[in-house]
Amino acid sequence: MAEYIKIYPENPNQKAVQKVVEVLQKGGLVIYPTDTVYGLGCDITNIKALERIAQIKGVKLEKSNFSFVCEDLSNLSDYVKQIDTTTFKILKRALPGAYTFILPGSKNLPNPFKKRKTVGIRVPDNSIALALVSALGNPIVSTSIRDEDDIIEYTTDPELIYEKWDNLVDIVIDGGYGGNEASTIIDLSEKPPVILREGKGSLEIF
């Protein structure tokens, strides 16, 4: 059974954040709030945890489209090839924010993602998500938790999320009601950039 932890976004409790981080470090799966919808995440360095998420989502890990949630742009050089000034300016304008940017992957990607040409990067504008990544010290590999219901694509109530996911994950963080609009996905590995999905993030960053 998963543990249900309440964390207030105004001032995330460091003790609670640390508790979640310890679970992530041991290979646990965590459902946590972002600036868009609730996400399912694990430590990028833990292969077993990555495989668990892929299994839950019913995809092969190597072919998954999980995004890397970073604290800021300083992590980028670990996973992304050198980017030009124009691309960097777009990222700087947009982040933290409700975007997933597709960027050319570097040779330093974790083993399961080594063959990828591109990688999706997120820096959510959510204090809980950023506190987790900061305390963990490396990105969280993340995917949104979709609902099977076609009308309600994303569940926003953390208590309902807990009821549904309690046997699949280790912790569900209640950070208040989530959104029901996913991030805007922009492919910056192409010139000119390609909008793959219009979501919560405004396109006025261009």
What pLDDT does residue 165 have?
Answer: 96
What pLDDT does residue 92 have?
Answer: 96
Alpha-helix residue ranges (DSSP H) falling in 37-149: 47-57, 76-79, 85-94, 127-136
Query: Can you list the domains of the chain with their CATH numbers?
Result: 3-205 (3.90.870.10)
Lowest mean pLDDT among 78-92, 144-158, 164-178: 144-158
Tell me: pLDDT of 66 over 80.
yes
Closest C-alpha among 19, 50, 17, 44 to residue 126: 17
CA distance 52 to 129: 20
Ramachandran area for residue 44 (φ above 0: left; ψ -120 to 50: alpha; else beta): alpha
What pLDDT does residue 13 have?
Answer: 97
pLDDT, tens only, 161-179: 999 999 999 999 999 999 9
Tell me: pLDDT of 206 over 90.
no
What pLDDT does residue 153 have?
Answer: 78
Residue 172, SS3 per DSSP: strand
Give the type of residue at 190: E
